[in-house]
């Protein structure tokens, strides 16, 4: 559906050229919700605006439905853009036009007869839950309702791709959830490919199938959302996940680990202890793995901290445990955890004298 190859975007800044995008390669498949996440200034908005060539890249290819948009003339590009709807952060509604007329605007510009426009717009207003507000003006509706108008307007030309540029960042959490639910509904019912730009991992968690992490104009990590959440490889990814699934253990937990280690050391029986951070997802979340390890390897395990969440009906979470026992048994248990599909991080904790 969307193939981005070697995409580079260079701007002329006050102190010389600035590379906003640096050799981006992405493949987005038909019908998926693909998230692009990064901090402010990472290049994510520059990237999404090259997909419909609102920004023309300095180098690279943007292939949508088999056509390289960078090679199209202006008339061909205008026609190609009808297949690519876009939802903006700040709604961009015309205050002098009603809800109905805002949705109808792209159809009017395309020269569609008024009777046909009504047949197109009314079902869209039903889809986004605004049929009863068709005659109101933007000043008379809420922020969430304005964004629903923006989504309906983006769907008016019956696009195959929907770009969402920080569409929920100006909304409160409850409204954000409802808008994301609507985008997922649109994705499923209309078969649209959705490209979602955001700086919020909570947004990615709720709706995306796959995600790419952008940092300083480069894609540094990408994959299935569940995989990225449970096995983040890059520091920027871990910091983004930290917002909803904290990776740092509380100081009280670390203090307790030091006490357990001191007790073990004081016992003087040759046993070893290790603080483990376990990340798990899918089927492994439902298996009695820890109880089997305790029985099979003769370990003591203290559960110190944990969180459980869900991504698209799949459970994922993290657990901090302090495991102690004979050294060989402890190493065997860690290997067994990894064999069971659990991501294991051995955490070093400095002991106080």
On whether both 199 and 270 belong to a single domain, the answer is no
On whether both 147 and 281 belong to a single domain, the answer is no
Is residue 17 within 8 Å of residue 58, measured between CB atoms? no
On whether both 192 and 329 belong to a single domain, the answer is no
Q: What is the pLDDT of residues 166-187, one digit of tens each?
A: 888 878 889 999 999 999 999 9
For residue 201, pLDDT over 60 is answered with yes
Q: Examine residue 229 and state whether it is found in any structural domain, yes or no.
A: yes
Query: What integer is the mean pLDDT of 62-74?
Result: 91
For residue 312, pLDDT over 80 is answered with no
For residue 126, pLDDT over 90 is answered with yes
On whether both 258 and 207 belong to a single domain, the answer is no
Overall number of domains in the chain: 2
On whether both 192 and 256 belong to a single domain, the answer is no
In this prediction the pTM is 0.84
On whether both 144 and 276 belong to a single domain, the answer is no
Please report, for the domain that includes residue 304, its CATH number: 3.30.70.260
Q: Examine residue 239 and state whether it is found in any structural domain, yes or no.
A: no
- Residue 353: what pLDDT? 45
On whether both 67 and 105 belong to a single domain, the answer is yes
Query: What is the span of the domain harbouring residue 278?
Result: 251-347
Domain boundary among 233, 263, 297: 233
| CA–CA separation, 119 and 26 (whole Å) | 37
- Residue 285: what pLDDT? 67
Share above pLDDT 70 across residues of the chain, in percent, rounded to a whole number: 95
């Amino acid at each position: 559906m969307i193939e981005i190859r070697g995409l580079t975007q260079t701007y002329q800044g006050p102190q010389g050229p600035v590379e906003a995008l640096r050799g981006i390669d992405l493949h987005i498949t038909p019908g998926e919700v693909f998230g692009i996440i990064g901090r402010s200034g990472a290049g994510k908005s520059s990237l999404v605006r090259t997909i419909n060539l609102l920004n023309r890249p300095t180098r690279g290819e943007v292939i949508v439905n088999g056509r390289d948009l960078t090679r199209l003339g202006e008339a061909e590009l205008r026609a190609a853009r009808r297949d690519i709807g876009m939802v903006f952060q700040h709604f961009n509604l015309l205050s002098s036009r009603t809800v109905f007329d805002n949705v109808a605007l792209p159809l009017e510009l395309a020269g569609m007869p008024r009777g046909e426009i009504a047949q197109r717009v009314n079902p869209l207003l039903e889809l986004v839950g605004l049929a009863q507000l068709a005659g109101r003006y933007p000043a008379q509706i809420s922020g969430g309702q304005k964004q629903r108008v923006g989504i309906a307007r983006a769907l008016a030309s019956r696009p195959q791709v929907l770009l969402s540029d920080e569409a929920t960042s100006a909304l409160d959490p409850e409204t954000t959830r409802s808008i994301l639910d609507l985008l997922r509904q649109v994705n499923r019912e209309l078969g649209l490919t959705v490209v979602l730009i955001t700086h919020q991992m909570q947004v990615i968690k709720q709706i995306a199938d796959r995600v790419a992490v952008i940092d300083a104009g480069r894609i540094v990590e990408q994959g299935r959302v569940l995989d990225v959440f449970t096995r983040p490889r890059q520091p920027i990814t871990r910091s983004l996940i930290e917002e909803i699934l904290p990776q740092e253990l509380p100081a009280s937990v670390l203090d307790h680990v030091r006490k357990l280690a001191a007790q073990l050391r004081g016992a003087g029986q040759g046993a070893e202890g290790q603080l483990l951070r376990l990340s798990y997802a899918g089927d492994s979340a439902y298996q009695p793995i820890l109880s089997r390890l305790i029985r099979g390897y003769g370990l003591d395990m203290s559960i110190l901290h944990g969180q459980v969440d869900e991504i698209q009906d799949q459970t994922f979470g993290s657990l901090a445990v302090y495991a102690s026992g004979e050294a060989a048994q402890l190493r065997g248990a860690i290997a067994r955890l990894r064999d069971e599909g659990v991501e294991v991080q051995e955490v070093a904790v400095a002991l106080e004298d």
